[in-house]
Amino acid sequence: MGHEYQDALMYAKWGVDYLKYDWCNTGKRNAEEAYSTMRDALKATGRPILFSMCEWGTAKPWLWAKDIGNQWRTTGDITDKWSSMKKWPDGNCCD
């Protein structure tokens, strides 16, 4: 936080094509403002970098993210639930 333009220039220098910008340890920071700042920093580099916003849905990105990022997340982490899988009766699958 606070180094978005510096970081974006380095990403462009490295030839980065995709940035997943995560929302970890942001406290009470305004998500829309934070992602807008990074969007502007990426655009300022002149390099087309796909901007993926990982906000978990807490700030309702479906209401504002379309004008900021190329893609965005709307939920928390998705995890497997293997214990809910049913066993096949013939024993040929899912053992």
Task: Show which residues are catalytic.
Answer: 22, 77
Backbone angles phi, psi at 19, to 5 degrees: -125, 120
Beta bridge partners of 20: 52
Can you tell me the distance from the alpha carbon of 5 to that of 40, in angstroms, rounded to the nearest whole number?
8
Are the C-beta atoms of 52 and 68 separated by less than 8 Å?
Answer: no
